[in-house]
Amino acid sequence: LRNKIAILFILCIFFAGATENVMSQWVSGYLEVTLKMNKTLCDILGLALFGLMLTVGRTLYTKFGKRIYRALIFGSIGCAICYLIASLTNNSILALISCSLTGFFVSMLWPGSLIAVTDRVPDANVNLFALMAVGGDLGVTVYPEIVGAITDFAIKNERIISLGMKHGLTSEQLGMKIGMLFGMTAPLFALLFFLIAYFNKKKVDKIKL
């Protein structure tokens, strides 16, 4: 914990886990409630396509990937865009595509954090990987709870209820959209910390040269 680089990557994997799990937990219910899609269809297409894209992303990286920081940075940007589209659109197909593509963009954020920290901390041992796992699990656990709390607050807020009525949305629909929009902060924070790690690495490499 005295290693600043280690702490940086624990934060990276925290937001990586948060980005992945918010969408995987919410995709089915979100599509069902906000877009009034069939529950069975949401379960099959929503979560299944998310999982499929997750698999595709990791498989492609093992075959063709070389630059892990590029995958981390562009993956975070892609996730943020997908969250934004999913939260703002009222088009079922577009929402389904954006939720599913989140799986592709988030696919390397968790394992990529482990790859990057191994490169930056040559003497990494089981203690560091245990702390990385704790950081990721905290993101997986805590962030969806925060999103849920914000959604619950929005659903019960009178101003938000009246705003939803003006736009033809129920308080639950608008509340879940607000929750999904807040979920976008996870990939944005991940992007911030990945960029810090990337530019710190470039600085160190330049000093070595």
Print pLDDT tens along the chain (209 aa): 677 888 999 999 999 999 999 999 988 888 888 878 787 777 778 888 999 999 999 999 998 888 899 999 999 999 999 999 999 988 888 988 999 999 999 999 999 999 999 888 877 788 888 999 999 999 999 999 999 999 999 888 888 888 888 878 888 888 899 999 999 999 999 999 999 999 988 777 666 54
At 208 the pLDDT is: 58
Q: Which long-range contacts (CB under 8 A, 24 or more apart) does 25-31 make?
A: 25/144, 26/144, 26/147, 26/176, 26/179, 26/180, 26/183, 27/99, 27/100, 27/102, 29/176, 30/86, 30/95, 30/99, 30/176, 30/180, 31/92, 31/95, 31/96, 31/99
Distance CA 161, CA 165 (A): 6
At 206 the pLDDT is: 60
Distance CA 191, CA 11 (A): 11
**Cβ-based neighbours of 48, under 8 Å, separated by 6 or more:** none
Distance CA 164, CA 155 (A): 10
At 52 the pLDDT is: 94
At 37 the pLDDT is: 79
Quote the distance between the C-alpha of residue 167 and its chain's center: 28
